[in-house]
Structure 1
Amino acid sequence: MSNFIFSLNATVPVFFVIFMGWVFRRTGIIDERFSEVNDKLSFKILFPVLLFRDISAADLRQDFDIKFAAFCFISTAACFCVIWILAEIFIKDKTIIGSFVQGSFRGSAAILGVAFVENMYGNAGMVPLMIVAAVPLYNIFSVIILTVRGKESKKLSFKKLMLSIAKNPMIIGIVSGLPFAVLRIDFPDMVDKCINNLSSLAMPLALLAVGASFQGKDAVKKIRPSIIASLIKLVIQPAIILPIAIMMGFKNQEIIALLIMTGAPTTVSSFIMAKNMNNDAELASSIVVITTLFSSVTITAIIFIFKTFGYV
């Protein structure tokens, strides 16, 4: 029961802000212009700063486990590749593939990971290592799929594709943070507060944008791919990756970190990226809403099962 309450505490506030964004848009408190400016601000400034903060703060020297880091890296890459291949085979409407693939594999690992593990074990454990191994891949793969499957993709040569990836604000934020994580460079308090102030704006503004852009009629039209992507994100990925992790000897904090990596709700930044990179924003928004709504049930159920069998 305590795990269920904790899951609700993690997901209900997120869903509430999304709902308020929808209410504000319908009542005219925010308009299309606000959403456009907010999207650009989040994509170009706030989320890159948030990623920079999370990556730079990770302590790679403490409890470094190359086996665990490699597992996070390989499983993330494998999930992305398999989902993309299957999407290309089975999805007839190729315009939704970018948002579908991103929504299916990219979770809120950095946001929920530390909170869950600290709540259960008292410290972050392997989560910073998981964040460094998986979160950069989330963003790199997202940029690749959204660029390749975006509306402007036919105009892109390989050189332009690589340049587009290198210039992506999310990638710049990650790459900029890695040297600080590796060298353990601490910022002066004043700089640290400035970074935290900017990064703290990213999630609430992005969640408001998701709610403001959510169109019930459009969501219903795309309910099938939304549900399939949500099932992949919340159920299928954990059902495949976690048993493999257990067979490889991972347990306790490692399993919870992997659960958050594979089964956390789709991150709200996926909507921001899909919209700004000319992909299906409505589908991206629907996946964020559905996975956020149901993740408290799926995550709690998985934790309960694993606790019952003594794996966490």
Structure 2
Amino acid sequence: MPESFLAALRVVLPMALLIILGVGVRKAGIMDRTVMRNVDKLTFRVFMPVLLFKNIYETDLSQSFAPEEAVFAALSLVLVIFPTALLLPPRLVKSRAQAASIGQAMIRSNYILFGIAVAESIFGEGNVGPVALLGAIVVPLTNALSVIVLEMGRSGRAEPKRLVLSILKNPMVVAALAAIAASALPFRMPELLWGVVKDVAGVTTTISFISLGVGLDLGQARANRRPLFLGLALRMVLIPLIFLPLSVALGFRNQSLCGLMVLFAAPTAVASYPMAVAMGADGPLAGQLVCAGTILSIFTMFFYTFLFRSLGML
């Protein structure tokens, strides 16, 4: 029991401390939300794609591939979560922009930041291949599905040509495809260049969670309390309650279960905020869903990690 508690604490404590640091940075006047928005753009367009590239590139695709896990994750996203995200939020809120932000929040978990961080906290560095590989599959997929939800939210319809272009220009999709292509080459990346990739990827988690703390605005969240509550209930309660028991029932364990736990239980991706703004959804609501979900995940991810470790499943 103590070991399970410590493993769960290792997952959530660093994230909580970085968010608190971000709040302190803002209150001390070192950096304000306006400046941090530019940092968020840099994170979305550079840091996160580089981190995703690194995670995929250093994963041995031939050794780590678990087809049943990938198939289950993809089918869950495409056949259940995506249609629900497209159809349910417009029935719960009147604003099309708010519905689009809630729909994106349902689809897009913070797999890039939580996946490797949680897996390394539980299994140790170098033992996260299956988790990284699942990310190589679900991150481009969730980004593509998010583009469709946001386009539908903006115009009420989705032009195929525009959708394809939006998906192909998405930095996460580009990074994933580039990493897979680079992995297929008969030679490895030069060490000097690989060192730069690792250095850039290494700052992503720290900057992203500090940014969440800087951008945290509880006063603005009160004005959006109903759509915020609905989005959190769908992302942080409904989806995990459906898909985590199903994952366990299907026999997924250890790294495979860890990857699915992050996919279904992690909060909304940090990158969903700048993407919502860029595509005409409700940007403030998208940011609040990220911040509130991340704070809530400190408790929920602790609970799931502790539960599965105690049951010997992780």
> Which residue does 2:135 correspond to in 1?
131
Match of 1:270 among 269, 272, 280: 272
Q: Kindly state the Cα deviation for residue 272 of structure 1 after the two structures are TM-superposed.
A: 3.1
Q: Kindly state the Cα deviation for residue 154 of structure 1 after the two structures are TM-superposed.
A: 7.2
State the one-letter code of the partner of 1:130. L
State the one-letter code of the partner of 1:61. S
Stretch deviating more after TM superposition (66-75 or 165-174) = 165-174
> Which residue does 1:59 correspond to in 2?
60
> Which residue does 1:203 correspond to in 2?
205
CA distance in 2 between counterparts of 1:280 and 1:251 reads 38
Task: Indicate how the Cα distance of structure 1 residues 287 and 4 shifts in structure 2: closer, same or farther if over 3 A, else same.
Answer: farther
Determine whether 1:231 maps to 2:198: no
**Count of aligned pairs:** 310
User: In the TM superposition, what are the counterparts of 1:1-312 in structure 2 within 5 Å?
Assistant: 1-31=2-32, 34-77=35-78, 78-121=80-123, 123-124=127-128, 126-150=130-154, 153=155, 157-182=159-184, 186-307=188-309, 311-312=313-314
State the one-letter code of the partner of 2:92. F
State the one-letter code of the partner of 1:47. M
CA distance in 2 between counterparts of 1:5 and 1:243 reads 23
Task: Indicate how the Cα distance of structure 1 residues 120 and 280 shifts in structure 2: closer, same or farther if over 3 A, else same.
Answer: same
CA distance in 2 between counterparts of 1:24 and 1:7 reads 27
Q: Kindly state the Cα deviation for residue 14 of structure 1 after the two structures are TM-superposed.
A: 2.6
**1:52, 1:177 within 8 Å by CA — same for their partners in 2?**
yes
Task: Indicate how the Cα distance of structure 1 residues 61 and 224 shifts in structure 2: closer, same or farther if over 3 A, else same.
Answer: same
CA distance in 2 between counterparts of 1:206 and 1:129 reads 22
State the one-letter code of the partner of 1:15. A
- Cα RMSD of the aligned pairs, angstroms, is 2.8
CA distance in 1 between counterparts of 2:306 and 2:199 reads 36
Over residues 17-36 of structure 1, what are the superposed CA-to-partner deviations in whole Å (9 max), with x where a residue is unaligned?
A: 33443443444322455234
State the one-letter code of the partner of 1:95. A
CA distance in 2 between counterparts of 1:285 and 1:11 reads 20
**1:100, 1:284 within 8 Å by CA — same for their partners in 2?**
yes
Q: TM-score w.r.t. structure 1 length?
A: 0.85
**1:15, 1:289 within 8 Å by CA — same for their partners in 2?**
no
Over residues 184-209 of structure 1, what are the superposed CA-to-partner deviations in whole Å (9 max), with x where a residue is unaligned?
A: 85322111111122223333333343
- How much identity, in percent, do the aligned residues show? 30
Where in structure 1 are there 5+ consecutive unaligned residues?
A: none
CA distance in 2 between counterparts of 1:117 and 1:156 reads 36
Q: Kindly state the Cα deviation for residue 262 of structure 1 after the two structures are TM-superposed.
A: 0.8
Q: Kindly state the Cα deviation for residue 240 of structure 1 after the two structures are TM-superposed.
A: 1.2
**1:99, 1:281 within 8 Å by CA — same for their partners in 2?**
yes
**1:114, 1:127 within 8 Å by CA — same for their partners in 2?**
yes
Task: Indicate how the Cα distance of structure 1 residues 72 and 226 shifts in structure 2: closer, same or farther if over 3 A, else same.
Answer: same
**1:72, 1:258 within 8 Å by CA — same for their partners in 2?**
yes
**1:215, 1:282 within 8 Å by CA — same for their partners in 2?**
no
**1:99, 1:279 within 8 Å by CA — same for their partners in 2?**
yes
Q: TM-score w.r.t. structure 2 length?
A: 0.85
State the one-letter code of the partner of 1:106. R
CA distance in 2 between counterparts of 1:201 and 1:305 reads 30
**2:143, 2:167 within 8 Å by CA — same for their partners in 1?**
no
CA distance in 2 between counterparts of 1:238 and 1:279 reads 25
State the one-letter code of the partner of 1:49. V
Helix, strand or coil: the match of 2:63?
coil
